[in-house]
Chain A
Amino acid sequence: MRYYRIAMYELTPVQWVAHAITHPVEGFEDMRWKKSGSLKIAFFIICMLFLANIANERLYGFNHYVPYDKIFNVVPYIVKSFVVFGAWTVGNWAVCTLLDGEGTMKNICIYSAYALVPYVTQLLVNTLLSHFLIRDEAVFISIITIIGTGWSAILLFSAIRSVHQYSAAKTIFAIALTIGAMLIMLFLLILLLSLIQQVAIFFSTLFMEITYRIRD
């Protein structure tokens, strides 16, 4: 019997993704036990999240949603995928290092990214479905949204629990703290940006002033 189990768990990296997302309770535990998980695939998933966000906004069925397509600004999509995920990873790592978590930054990144697969799938499936369904049938789209998002939330919980080897209560506490840490980081980021802007304006005015004086 033991051989059979081992045989089952000699999976390719892609098979590991499938295993993790189809086994919400022990999938990530198995991954941890086998020390599996690929940073490349994690990065690919986040890229897909980025693209799916754009697709969901811009390629959505016209009868369900009318986008403001006069301009295209990529920054909100970058924020919605890379920046938020990065903040989540760093924030979770920072919080859980203090809370006796066992996860490394690499593992947090990999496990969290794997947990996002249902959410990304939901975005893409809905984008596709919106071209086949009319408004009266939009309830199917919302069902898929709820299932995809809920599934991802459960997976994310399970991922954090197994990467740090936490109890359920501690996981919830850690996630709440992580969200707080993310907000603080984003606040500091904005502060930094505005500061840089002010400094830049200062130097540009200084430069302008000097050029005017020289011209005189």
Chain B
Amino acid sequence: MKKIFKRAVTAALSVILCGYTAIFTASAKEPYDVYNYDRWGEPIPSQAGYTAERAVSGYDLGVGAMNMPSDIFCAFDGNFYITDTGNNRIIAINSDFTDAVRVYDSFIMADGTKTALKKPSGIFISAENQLMYIADTENSRVLITDLDGYVVREITKPDTEIYDSRRTFNPQRVIADKAGNVYVVLNNITTGAAMFSPDGEFTGFYGANRVQPTAEIIGDYFSGLFMSEEKLTRRTRNVPSGITSFDIEGDFIYTCTSSSTQTTDTIKKLNSAGKNIFANNEAVFGDYSPMYDTSQNRVLASAIIDVDIAEDGNINCLDFTMGRIFQYDEDCNLLFIVGKNADQVGGFKQAAALESCDDRLYVTDTMKNTVTIFKETDFGEVVHKASALHNSGCYEEALDPWLEVLKYDGTYRRAYLGIAAAKLRSGDYGEAMKYAKLADAGKIYDKAFEGYRMEFIRNNFEPILLALIFGSIAIAGIIKSRKDKKAALAAERKKGKSDEKEER
């Protein structure tokens, strides 16, 4: 008997211990606390959607140390292209990120001469025409070359009236759409990205940010009403922050702005007409409220310096201030927050660019001179599957993945939203109400409640009708009896008083 008891205790203990170690290894991998936002917009601990797999330096790739790798792009052939800014070169890396396939030091111009890059900081490879677009910053040009290193076209500072000739032309980022139009982010232009036709002609600016209507700017507007023309021309002008980086997915261009004082237009989704589809979206990108750092006496507000759109439509934003990656689904619902400014693998010193490919995220660091590779965790996989199904309208198919998500993280708000939507679609109103309440989704709750009420009335029509009839009869009876009582009382009083009178 004693032996059995002992064995049982050991078994129980070992199970508990195993569980502990399992939890420990699952959560201790990141050099930071993984968090997400709950339904009140307050940060709470959460499961990691991505975990740092490894950090790759130039030595690992066999090309010597990288110096400020400022941009990374995953091309159609699966290879990665990194602008090694400090070394003035482009490095092509194989899809496993183990070896450099090719290093572009110089390119051959149409007339046969060689040309070198000078601090290139942006790269884009078009899948349509298989050309490489390089923002050659300090040479003030955008190079369009084929993958063998032959220059097809060179875009330099436009010579038109629209482009102020006093301004420099320093391309930071470059992309091209399917038609071959080239968009260039310039470091000193706040009126949007410069747009060039496929044959290199300047066609205007695209996607300028709005000026955020802060109290100061509104005050300036009113004081401006009373100013003379001379005064108006000499006052400081309110210009919006420029675009920091962008990415193209299908017909849409996503831009980001790193200005930490700006809270509107930090992430924009622009259609081909340059209209922002997220303009009326209430979503906040980055951390909800800036953190105050007492040791440095400064406010750490999110500054999103790069944006990347994954193949499944998820929006990845790279926050420079805190070294965090914020991942949103295509409807701007927050999925994951990954990363931190730290020395360990998975932390950054100066995060610069972000790229996603399949189930991995690649982040370059211009101070560590590495590329950190994050791999999707099991949890991340389930969430991605569920949100992809949900966003394509298959709410009921997404139900099982969402329930699976809740097994990993019971406070994951997005899952409750998904389950509520699925239950509502399948007509299970009671459950839909329950989950909508947990997700803080008043609108879904309202829809579910409408259905629930209808169902309730339909199922209990006879009792409700009977209760109504008997209730009204009872109320009418009570009113009548009270009236009778009052009348009787009044009559009695009257009689009593008149008796008194008679006696007198």
Within 8 A of B (CB), among A196-212: none
Contacts of B436 in A (CB 8 A): 62
- Per-residue interface assignment for chain B, residues 448 to 489, with 1 indicating a CB less than 8 Å from any chain A CB and 0 otherwise: 011001000000000000000000000000000000000001
A-side contacts of B40, CB under 8 Å = 68, 70
**Most chain A CB neighbours (cut-off 10 Å) among B440, B446, B450:** B446
What residues of B have a CB within 8 angstroms of the CB of A132 in the complex? Answer: 453
Q: How far is the CA of A68 from the CA of B437 in the complex (A)?
A: 12
Question: Across the interface, do A134 and B494 meet the contact criterion of CB distance under 8 Å?
Answer: no
Min CB–CB distance B485 → chain A (angstroms): 13
The reply to whether A63 and B446 contact each other, CB–CB distance below 8 Å, is yes
* Residue in A closest to B492 when the chains form the complex, CB atoms: A7
Residues of chain A lying within 8 A (CB to CB) of residue B433: 62
- The residues of A that contact B449 with a CB separation of less than 8 Å are 61, 63, 134
CB of A72 within 8 Å of the partner chain = no
| Inter-chain contact A3/B497, CB cutoff 8 Å | yes
Inter-subunit contact B442/A62 (CB<8 Å): yes
Contact A134 B453 (CB under 8 A): yes
- Whether the Cβ atoms of B445 and A63 lie closer than 8 Å is yes
Tell me the chain A residues, 35-85 only, with Cβ under 8 Å from chain B: 61-66, 68, 70
Q: Which residues of B contact A70 (CB under 8 A)?
A: 40, 42
Contact status B493-A62, CB under 8 Å: no
The smallest beta-carbon distance between A141 and chain B, in angstroms, is 13
Residue B490 CB within 8 A of the other chain: yes
Contact yes or no, B490 A7, CB < 8 A:
yes
User: In the complex the two chains form, is B445's CB within 8 Å of A3's CB?
Assistant: no
Which residues of the other chain, A, contact B494 by a CB distance below 8 angstroms? 3-4, 7
B269 to chain A, nearest CB (A): 28
The interface residues of chain A, by DSSP majority, are classed as loop
- Cross-interface CB contact of A62 among B445, B453, B497, cutoff 8 Å: B445
Is A135 engaged at the interface, CB distance under 8 Å to the other chain? yes
Residues 112-124 of chain A, each 1 if its beta carbon lies under 8 Å from chain B, else 0:
0000000000000
Q: Which residues of B sit under 8 angstroms from A65, Cβ to Cβ? A: 442
Least Cβ–Cβ distance between B475 and chain A, in angstroms: 17
**B42: nearest residue on chain A (CB-CB)?**
A70
Q: Which residues of B contact A64 (CB under 8 A)?
A: 442, 446
B contact residues around A4 at 8 Å (CB): 490, 494
A63 to B449, CA, bound (A): 8
Q: Which of A3, A66, A135 contacts B440 (CB 8 A)?
A: A66
Closest chain B CB from A6 CB (angstroms): 9
Query: What per-residue 1/0 map shows which CB atoms of A124-136 lie under 8 Å from chain B?
Result: 0000000010110
A127 to chain B, nearest CB (A): 16
Q: Would you list which residues of chain A between 1 and 34 have a CB under 8 Å from chain B?
A: 3-4, 7-8
- Specify which of B440, B450, B497 is in contact with A134 (CB 8 Å cutoff): B450
Pick the residue among B442, B445, B493 that contacts A7 (CB under 8 A): B493
Least CB distance, B448 to chain A, in whole angstroms = 8
Residues of chain A within 8 A of B42, CB atoms compared = 70
Residue of chain A at shortest CB distance from B498: A3
* In the bound complex, CA of A68 to CA of B38 (Å): 12
Cβ of A3 and Cβ of B442 under 8 Å apart? no
- Decide if A134 touches B493 in the complex (CB within 8 Å): no
Q: How far is the CA of A8 from the CA of B443 in the complex (A)?
A: 52
Q: Would you call B446 and A135 a contact (CB within 8 A)?
A: yes
CA distance A62 to B433 in the complex (A): 9
How far is the CB of A70 from the nearest CB of chain B, in Å? 6
Q: Which residue of B lies closest to A65 (CB)?
A: B442
Residues of B within 8 A of A63 (CB): 442, 445-446, 449
Q: How far is the CA of A62 from the CA of B489 in the complex (A)?
A: 48
Residue of B nearest to A71 (CB): B40
Q: A3-B497, A62-B437, A68-B40 are in contact. Are A134 and B446 (CB under 8 A)?
A: yes
A62 neighbours in B (Cβ, 8 Å): 433, 436-437, 442, 445
List, in ascending order, chain A residues with CB within 8 A of B450's CB.
Answer: 134
Instruction: Determine how close the nearest CB of chain B comes to the CB of A170; give it in whole angstroms.
Output: 37
In the bound complex, what is the Cα–Cα distance between A157 and B449 (angstroms)? 40
Chain B residues lying within 8 Å of A135, measured Cβ to Cβ, are: 443, 446
Q: If A70-B40, A132-B453, A134-B453 touch, does A3 touch B493 (CB 8 Å cutoff)?
A: yes
Chain A positions within 8 Å of B490 at CB level:
4, 7-8
Return A143 CB to nearest CB of chain B, in Å.
Answer: 19
Listed in ascending order, the chain A residues whose CB lies under 8 Å from chain B are 3-4, 7-8, 61-66, 68, 70, 132, 134-135
13 further A-B contacts with Cβ under 8 Å, apart from A62-B433, A65-B442, are A7-B490, A7-B493, A7-B494, A8-B490, A61-B449, A62-B442, A62-B445, A63-B442, A63-B446, A66-B442, A68-B40, A134-B450, A135-B446
15 CB contacts below 8 A, A to B, read: A4-B490, A4-B494, A7-B493, A7-B494, A8-B490, A62-B436, A62-B442, A63-B445, A64-B442, A70-B40, A132-B453, A134-B446, A134-B453, A135-B443, A135-B446
Question: What are the 7 tightest A-B residue pairs by CB atom distance, in nearest-first order?
Answer: A63-B446, A7-B493, A134-B450, A135-B446, A3-B497, A63-B445, A63-B449
